[in-house]
Amino acid sequence: MNYGKKSVSRKRNSLISRTAMMGKRAHVSFIRVLFAVLITICVVVGCVGIGAFRGIIDNAPDVNDIDISPLGYATFLYDGDGNQLRKLTAPSSNRLPVSIDQIPVDLQHAVVAIEDERFYEHNGIDVRGILRAFVKNITSGNLSEGASTITQQLLKNNVFTNWTKESTWLERFTRKIQEQYLAVEVEKKINNKDVILENYLNTINLGAGTYGVQAAARKYFNKDVWDLNLSESATLAGITQNPTQFNPIEHPEENAKRRKEVLDHMIAQGYITQAQYDEVLNDDVYSRIQAAQIENSETENTVYSYFEDELIDQVINDLMNIKGYTRTQAQNLVYSGGLSIYTTQDSAIQKILDEEYADPSNYPDYVQYALDYALTVKNPQGEEVNYSKEMLELYFQNEDPEFDLLFDSQEEGQSYVDRYKESILADGSTVVAERVSFAPQPQSSMSVIDQHTGYVKAIIGGRGEKTASLTLNRATDTTRQPGSTFKILSTYAPALNEKGMTLATTFEDEPYNYPDGSPVNNASRSYNGTTTIRKAIQNSINVVAVKCLEEVTPELGLQYLDNFGFTTLAHGTEADRDADGTVWTDANLPLALGGLTNGVTNIELCAAYAAIANSGNYIEPLYYTKILDHNGNVLIEKTSAGRSVIKESTAWLLTSAMEDVVTQGTGTACQLDNMTVAGKTGTTDAYNDLWFVGYTPYYTCAVWSGFDNNEKLPEDARNFHKNLWKKVMTRIHEGLPDKDFDMPASVEKLSVCAETGLLPRAGCPIITEYFDIGDVPTDECDQHFYGYSDYDNSDMTEHTTEEGIYNSDGTQTDNTDDNTGDNTGDNTGDNTGDNTGDNTGDNTGDNTDNTGDNTGGDDGGDNGGDNGDNTGGDDGGDSSGGDAEE
């Protein structure tokens, strides 16, 4: 057939010349006129027909643009060591490509025999098949479609996928013409039957969610396609005509009938012998299929992990933002693009988190269950109505105002669900859909990052069984108040980094108010007087943090937080306007204590601390390193390139102070026997959120605990997060050489006055502290008395290295006067004697509580009693301090 432009224009020309000729003839007979008219009509109709045909062909896709290879391939996730973590598939992409030489010849023959017996001879369309189908259709009056060759089916499946929606006869006709035309063109262009058959066998729908012969072989027989025998091949070949009806798992009898047809065709076409035929018919292939299903179901976990959930989110966002895909395109790529995604997950570390989070002994004994509920019913009027957990809560609050969605057992919660549902269904409504789930409480989340690379090694988004994919992820999605973990990031980092302050810089820890008059409460409800930044970090003193941020300014603090990678902060822009029209900003003094508009996610808090652990360089948390496309080309590659947020010296100084947090401050519960640790605790004012973020020279780990509904954590539930941190990090570091955080050359050690942080002069109490070489104090202390009569310098030096004698209650100078004289030389045990007069009463009783934690220090005057609670180990402060932040 030739539908080229030349032949059409030739026919058009002949039509024109004919009509012209007719006009010239004057005397023509009626018969001749009629004849001419008839011919004209025939020609016109023919031309129009040819023209229409041309149009159909012209509208067909260009054969050079056609890619007959299938589109939907499974995507694979690999862990940091290259082990396969998971196969991601969309409903139509559970496809594992194989080459034709991997596909058994018996399977090739079986498919050809049943689907397209003249496949190896025809040129893309089967003229004999079309004619036979045409005759059959005419005689039967049934206008079903005629024979479709393998080449045509391949085009239908991979190129004309949107043609399944055609409705009219004309559309069907048009499509059929184009399909046949292109089938011929494709065969001409490719000129290789094996290539066409290979693509076809990788494309076909073989039921049970499998596409292509390899996926089907894995699914039905739990083996590779190259291991299939004739019997199994015939089984697969029998499916393709109707993948639901001939699914050999669900309908073995139907498949068996079809399989026999396949074998009939094969023997008739000479592909197999009678002996083979008989043997296969006697083979009980279906019990093998059933057995394979049991094996499959044991190995297949269809619920994605929290890491995988977040990874998929990230990959889709990156494909949109970096590669410019639409969301739909990106999703299609992820689930059916045949990508290879190399993740940063460390399977060994993830396993440790999984195991510890699954261990009930790591949680408070008293477990409660938070209900998540949704119900859709059809009411008697036929309308669908939705009910939520909030509506259920309101319903029961009518009878009990204290009612909430926390239950002592799932059974108790279920009984309320049942009662609620009963009340809804009382009018004859019927259930359309219902979702009931219970999450154990209090909850917790954890993330682990390798600070040197930014690789997210493991995350866990909650305790309790994960029952579905893409569920609430408390490590990456939920924002919670960070409490005192923010002191380091919002306040002390900028203070040390660019405000000329040092760890020896002192502030008065004393009763203090915010500008609006509300008090800044210390967790201990007590005050320690002159306090260095190092001590304020160690013991998490709120007053000092707030005073320090006043000097730093909240605006600068917020800028540092942005640089530390937080994306959930409020900046007072239009984006921060709430429904009531209020525009929120976090550039306020409570920022020092982590009082935020929206809170932060666990992973971002972890990444910010990882920046300190990484010498001040922030690296965006990475969930994967590269994505390869279906052909193995790099689609996206991630690097660990970071940005410097704070100087190396600042990072090390903060680390040094946070080592004190763990050795003698609020974080002693997170000491590791096998590794050096620096870290910071965080508690919000009403114990809604508890944190510990810490790092070793190897890894950074953030743990959060709290109730999903933001309830206050009971007293016995305020430490389990630290225990989880310690257990997980101990196991992660097993076998790793213990080492210290390397002090950079830009830091030096110096003795300074403990009260002023300036160069000491005779009479100054002295501490040793580390400084950035650019921030070494140059001024001498001007606050102490010199030449005091019974002052003994050497004694003093020894004494003051304990750095705690300075007392606090308000009037510093007076106090110093008294104390220096009296306390000289003796610190422990001598307080009663020497301090008598002013101090006896308070000290004797209360100081016994202080042993150890107060390091002979803070004792002097009026503070004694309170201090027992304050610095006494890591929890004393937390539990007794009322509702102040720690």
Torsion of Cα atoms, 359 then 363 then 364 then 368, to 10°: -90
* Burial classification of residue 87, based on how many CB atoms lie within 10 Å of its CB (0-12 exposed, 13-18 middle, 19 or more buried): middle
Residue 784 interacts with Zn ion (CB under 5 A)? yes
CB contact at 8 A, 338 and 88: no
Stretch that binds Zn ion, among 103-111, 318-326, 776-784, 804-812 (CB under 5 A): 776-784
Shortest CB 506 distance to Zn ion, Å? 10
Nearest to 334 by CA among 157, 159, 81, 93: 93
Tell me 379's DSSP state: -
The radius of gyration of the chain's CA atoms, rounded to the nearest angstrom, is 39
Site string for Zn ion, 136-165 (x = CB under 5 A): ------------------------------
Tell me whether residue 700 or residue 756 sits nearer to Zn ion (CB atom): 756
Query: Where do the DSSP E strands lie in 730-800?
Result: 747-753, 766-772
The set of residues, in sequence order, having a beta carbon less than 8 Å from that of 425 and lying 6+ positions away, is 377, 431
Tell me whether residue 405 or residue 754 sits nearer to Zn ion (CB atom): 754
214-253 residues in contact with Zn ion (CB under 5 A) are: none
* 618 vs 611: CA distance, rounded Å: 4
Tell me whether residue 411 or residue 780 sits nearer to Zn ion (CB atom): 780
Residue 764 interacts with Zn ion (CB under 5 A)? yes
CA–CA distance from 418 to each of 371, 409, 871 (Å)? 13, 14, 50
Shortest CB 797 distance to Zn ion, Å? 12
Stretch that binds Zn ion, among 43-51, 63-71, 777-785, 824-832 (CB under 5 A): 777-785
Tell me whether residue 596 or residue 764 sits nearer to Zn ion (CB atom): 764
CB 701: neighbour CB atoms within 10 A?
Answer: 29
Stretch that binds Zn ion, among 116-124, 248-256, 501-509, 761-769 (CB under 5 A): 761-769
Sequence letter at residue 681: T
Stretch that binds Zn ion, among 184-192, 237-245, 498-506, 774-782 (CB under 5 A): 774-782
* 546 vs 487: CA distance, rounded Å: 9
Stretch that binds Zn ion, among 91-99, 489-497, 779-787, 803-811 (CB under 5 A): 779-787
Helix (H) or strand (E) holding 693: strand 689-695
Tell me whether residue 417 or residue 767 sits nearer to Zn ion (CB atom): 767
Shortest CB 501 distance to Zn ion, Å? 17
Stretch that binds Zn ion, among 15-23, 566-574, 688-696, 764-772 (CB under 5 A): 764-772
Tell me whether residue 678 or residue 758 sits nearer to Zn ion (CB atom): 758
Tell me whether residue 491 or residue 816 sits nearer to Zn ion (CB atom): 816
State the number of binding residues for Zn ion (CB under 5 A).
Answer: 5
**Residue 680, phi then psi, degrees to nearest 5:** -145, 135
Tell me whether residue 555 or residue 814 sits nearer to Zn ion (CB atom): 814
* 837 vs 823: CA distance, rounded Å: 13
Residue 805 interacts with Zn ion (CB under 5 A)? no
Structure tokens that stand for 838 in this block: 């002013």
Tell me whether residue 137 or residue 812 sits nearer to Zn ion (CB atom): 812
Tell me whether residue 272 or residue 767 sits nearer to Zn ion (CB atom): 767
Tell me whether residue 653 or residue 752 sits nearer to Zn ion (CB atom): 752
Tell me whether residue 504 or residue 703 sits nearer to Zn ion (CB atom): 504
Distance, CA of 319 to chain centre: 15
Torsion of Cα atoms, 580 then 585 then 586 then 587, to 10°: -150
Residue 258 interacts with Zn ion (CB under 5 A)? no
Shortest CB 466 distance to Zn ion, Å? 58
Structure tokens that stand for 89 in this block: 């598939």
* 759 vs 780: CA distance, rounded Å: 4
**For 855, left (φ over 0), alpha (ψ -120 to 50), or beta?**
left
268-297 residues in contact with Zn ion (CB under 5 A) are: none
Shortest CB 502 distance to Zn ion, Å? 15
**Tokens 């002013």 found at:** 838
Residue 645 interacts with Zn ion (CB under 5 A)? no
Structure tokens that stand for 425 in this block: 């269904």
Sequence letter at residue 538: Q
* 210 vs 741: CA distance, rounded Å: 53
Site string for Zn ion, 708-747 (x = CB under 5 A): ----------------------------------------
- Of the candidates 285, 600, 781, 805, which one interacts with Zn ion according to CB under 5 A? 781
* 512 vs 520: CA distance, rounded Å: 6
Q: Does residue 442 have a cis peptide bond before it, meaning omega lies within 30 degrees of 0?
A: yes
Tell me whether residue 334 or residue 753 sits nearer to Zn ion (CB atom): 753
Residue 753 interacts with Zn ion (CB under 5 A)? yes
Residue 752 interacts with Zn ion (CB under 5 A)? no
CB contact at 8 A, 103 and 225: yes
Shortest CB 858 distance to Zn ion, Å? 18
* 312 vs 303: CA distance, rounded Å: 13
Stretch that binds Zn ion, among 23-31, 320-328, 674-682, 759-767 (CB under 5 A): 759-767
Stretch that binds Zn ion, among 80-88, 273-281, 479-487, 749-757 (CB under 5 A): 749-757
Shortest CB 812 distance to Zn ion, Å? 11
Shortest CB 829 distance to Zn ion, Å? 26
- Give the footprint of Zn ion on this chain (CB under 5 A): 753, 756, 764, 781, 784
